[in-house]
Amino acid sequence: MKILIYMIFILSYFRVNNAFTVSDYIINRLNKYKIKHIFGYPGGANLQFFEKLNKNSNISVVISRHEQWSGHIAEGLSKFNQKLGVVIATSGPGLTNLITPLQDSLSDGVPLLCISGQVSTKVLGTDAFQECKATSLTKACTKKNYLITKPEQIISVMDEAINLALTPRYGPVHIDICSDLFNKTINVINMYPNLINTIRPISIKSNKLSNKKLNYVTNLINNSEKPVLILGQGSYNAKNELRKFVDDKKIPVTTTLHGLGIIDEHNSMSLKMHGMHGTAYANYAIQDSDLIIGIGNRFDDRTTGLLSKYAPNCDKIIYVDNDNNRLKQIKKHLPHKVITVNSDSKSFIKLIDKKVNDRVRYNWINKIMDLKMKYPLRKESGMAASQVILELSKLLEYRKNFTISTGVGNHQMKLAQYMTWTEPKQMISSGSQGTMGVALPFAIGAYYNNPNNDIFCFDGDGSFMMSAVELATIKEYNIPIKIIIINDKSLQMVNMWQEIYYDKCKLGNSPKNPSFKKMAKGFGIKSISCSSPLTIKRALKKVINSKEPILCEFLIDKSWCTPFVGPGKALDEMIL
Ligand SMILES: Cc1ncc(C[n+]2csc(CCOP(=O)(O)OP(=O)(O)O)c2C)c(N)n1
The protein residue whose alpha carbon is closest to atom 11 in ligand 1 is 491
Residue that is last in its domain, among 134, 161, 196: 196
Tell whether the torsion through CA atoms of 428, 431, 437 and 438 is positive or negative.
negative
19 and 159 share one domain: yes
**What is d(CA 170, CA 308) in angstroms, rounded to the nearest whole number?**
30
Distance, CA 561 to ligand 1 centroid (Å)?
A: 13
243 and 148 share one domain: no
Residue 20 confidence (pLDDT):
87
Query: Residue 412 above 90 pLDDT?
Result: yes
What atom of ligand 1 comes closest to residue 493's alpha carbon?
19
Quick check: is 414 in a domain?
A: yes
Query: Residue 434 above 60 pLDDT?
Result: yes
362 and 220 share one domain: yes
474 and 368 share one domain: no
The protein residue whose alpha carbon is closest to atom 3 in ligand 1 is 436
What atom of ligand 1 comes closest to residue 459's alpha carbon?
15
Query: Residue 72 above 80 pLDDT?
Result: yes
Distance, CA 402 to ligand 1 centroid (Å)?
A: 24
284 and 396 share one domain: no
The protein residue whose alpha carbon is closest to atom 5 in ligand 1 is 436
Distance, CA 258 to ligand 1 centroid (Å)?
A: 18
Distance, CA 240 to ligand 1 centroid (Å)?
A: 35
Residue 197 confidence (pLDDT):
46
CATH of the domain at 47: 3.40.50.970
The protein residue whose alpha carbon is closest to atom 8 in ligand 1 is 409
Residue 245 confidence (pLDDT):
97
3-state class (DSSP) for residue 545: helix
Quick check: is 567 in a domain?
A: no
The protein residue whose alpha carbon is closest to atom 9 in ligand 1 is 409
CA atoms within 13 A on the CB side of 165: 29
Residue that is last in its domain, among 196, 231, 249: 196
Residue 206 confidence (pLDDT):
57
Quick check: is 525 in a domain?
A: yes
**What is d(CA 309, CA 307) in angstroms, rounded to the nearest whole number?**
5
**Structural element, H or E, at residue 428:** strand 427-428
Least reliable range by pLDDT among 134-143, 204-213, 436-445: 204-213
Grade residue 507 by pLDDT with cuts at 50, 70 and 90.
Answer: very high
Distance, CA 10 to ligand 1 centroid (Å)?
A: 49
Quick check: is 170 in a domain?
A: yes
Between 460 and 8, whose confidence is greater?
460
43 and 192 share one domain: yes
3-state class (DSSP) for residue 575: strand
Query: Residue 26 above 90 pLDDT?
Result: yes
Distance, CA 407 to ligand 1 centroid (Å)?
A: 8
CATH of the domain at 356: 3.40.50.1220
Query: Residue 188 above 90 pLDDT?
Result: no
Global confidence as pTM:
0.94
365 and 435 share one domain: no
Residue 373 confidence (pLDDT):
98
What atom of ligand 1 comes closest to residue 436's alpha carbon?
26
Distance, CA 460 to ligand 1 centroid (Å)?
A: 8
360 and 227 share one domain: yes
Look up the domain containing 92 and give its range. 2-196
What atom of ligand 1 comes closest to residue 433's alpha carbon?
25
Query: Residue 473 above 80 pLDDT?
Result: yes
What is the pLDDT averaged over residues 380-404?
95
Grade residue 477 by pLDDT with cuts at 50, 70 and 90.
Answer: very high
Query: Residue 314 above 80 pLDDT?
Result: yes
Query: Residue 44 above 60 pLDDT?
Result: yes
Read off the DSSP letter of residue 470. Answer: G
What is the pLDDT averaged over residues 36-63?
96
358 and 396 share one domain: no
261 and 121 share one domain: no
410 and 524 share one domain: yes
**What is d(CA 250, CA 138) in angstroms, rounded to the nearest whole number?**
45
Quick check: is 564 in a domain?
A: no
Quick check: is 565 in a domain?
A: no
Mean of pLDDT over the chain: 93
Give start and end residues of each alpha helix (H) in 343-491. 345-353, 362-374, 385-396, 410-418, 439-449, 461-467, 471-476
First to last CA, the chain: 64
Query: Residue 203 above 60 pLDDT?
Result: no
Distance, CA 470 to ligand 1 centroid (Å)?
A: 18
Quick check: is 206 in a domain?
A: no
Distance, CA 462 to ligand 1 centroid (Å)?
A: 6
Residue 82 confidence (pLDDT):
83
The protein residue whose alpha carbon is closest to atom 13 in ligand 1 is 491
432 and 516 share one domain: yes
Distance, CA 512 to ligand 1 centroid (Å)?
A: 14
Residues with CB under 6 A from ligand 1: 407-411, 434-436, 460-463, 486, 488, 490-494
Grade residue 27 by pLDDT with cuts at 50, 70 and 90.
Answer: very high
Least reliable range by pLDDT among 73-82, 172-181, 238-247, 303-312: 73-82
Please choose from 493, 505, 506 the residue to mutate so as to test ligand 1's pocket, defined by most ligand atoms within 8 A of CB: 493
Total domain count for the chain? 3
What atom of ligand 1 comes closest to residue 496's alpha carbon?
19
Quick check: is 315 in a domain?
A: yes
Helix axis angle, 188-198 relative to 2-17, nearest 10°?
A: 150
